[in-house]
Amino acid sequence: MYELLFWKYVEEIYLNHHEVYEALVEKQEIEGLEILPVEVILNRIASVFSDWEKVDENSWQNTAGKGAFQVITTSQSIKIDCYGTEGKTMDKLVDLLAEFKCPLYDPQVPERYDEMFE
């Protein structure tokens, strides 16, 4: 599994990214993060991946190739667990969340990619 996590800071607020990640994984609310349009984001993911099989409300499987992913949300974050997912698919997810000004935090590295919005 490979985790991708996305959130948006309130303007002029920057916190320790790894501490934010750990709190969001525990589904805690964090002062300094924006409330996200979760339903709109989920609908956008469903639209972009409409050619994938929707396994359940928040999971997709590629029937024409490799990979699957599950989306786990809080009011402040979008976490995507990727299973055997190709890099180009993960890039598509990163680009999709960039539409909502939510940069990627990659906990495997660990690094947050804020520079795409600066």
> Please, which pLDDT band fits residue 84 given cuts at 50, 70 and 90?
very high
> Please, which pLDDT band fits residue 14 given cuts at 50, 70 and 90?
confident
Angstrom distance (rounded) from CA 69 to CA 103? 18
Distance of CA 75 to the CA centre of its chain: 12
pLDDT(112) > 80 = yes
Q: What pLDDT does residue 117 have?
A: 58
Residue in this structure with the two tokens 């976490």, named with its chain if needed: 79
Q: pTM of the predicted model, to two decimals?
A: 0.94
> Please, which pLDDT band fits residue 45 given cuts at 50, 70 and 90?
very high
Distance of CA 8 to the CA centre of its chain: 11
